[in-house]
Amino acid sequence: MVKIATSSDNHFDLNKVEIDSTIKEQAKYLKDQQVDYYLIAGDLFNDFQKSLAYVKQLSKAVAPVKVFFIAGNHDMIRNVTYEELEDGSWPGYLNNRFVDVPGTDYRIIGMNGWYDYTFAVNEDKTEAEFHRWKMAYWIDGLISQPMSDPDRERIVINNLKKQLQKAKIAGKKVILMTHFVPNQRFIHYTSDFRFWNMANAMMGSVHFQKLINDYRVDTVIFGHTHQRLKPVKINHTIYYNAAVGYHNRRHNEWQTNHFISEWQNQLKIFEIF
**Which DSSP category does 95 fall into?**
B
| pTM of the predicted structure, to 2 decimals | 0.97
CA dist list (Å): 38 to 13, 18, 240: 21, 20, 13
Its sign, for the CA torsion 111, 114, 118, 122, is positive
- Taking only the tens place, the pLDDT of each residue in 49-91 is 999 999 999 999 999 999 999 999 999 999 999 999 999 999 9
Q: In CATH, what number does 2-272 get?
A: 3.60.21.10
Q: Is the pLDDT of residue 93 over 90?
A: yes
Start-end of H helices in the chain: 19-32, 48-62, 82-87, 127-137, 149-169, 194-199, 206-214, 259-266
What's the whole-number average pLDDT of the chain? 97
- Dump strand ranges (E) for 73-113: 97-100, 106-111
pLDDT at residue 51 in the model: 98
Q: How far is it, in rounded angstroms, from Cα 231 to Cα 240?
A: 5
Q: How far is it, in rounded angstroms, from Cα 145 to Cα 8?
A: 23
Where along the chain do its domains lie? 2-272
Q: Parallel, antiparallel, or unpaired: how do β-strands 173-178 and 106-111 relate? A: parallel
Asked, as a colleague might, if the bond just before 64 is cis with ω within 30 of 0, I would say yes
Q: How many helices (H) and strands (E) does the chain have?
A: 8, 10
